[in-house]
Structure 1
């Protein structure tokens, strides 16, 4: 399990006004973490910075 102590979370600019939000922490060395803002103590997905960039590219181009 990855230690996310010290993570600084920010909400996605694409979050909905109904509270369906994704939060991202990119301040930890060598990783980017993503979680559901409604379950802040629940699981988080963890990416390498390159993996996160690839994920973002894919989601922007997926139809």
Structure 2
């Protein structure tokens, strides 16, 4: 499954809410920077819904 993630890193505050919500561990946080493993993503959009800054958009 090909997943396109629109991530606005310039507004991300590194809170790790998205990391904690991801059921497949497709998101990691290193030095307050978010990294996505698109090969693991199942498009549940939990990360998108939980991000307090609106920095994540999973595109259909």
* Pairwise same-fold verdict (TM > 0.5): no
TM-score by length of structure 2 reads 0.25
More helix, by proportion: 1
Greater C-alpha Rg: 1
**Structure with larger RCO (C-alpha < 8 A, sep 6+):** 2
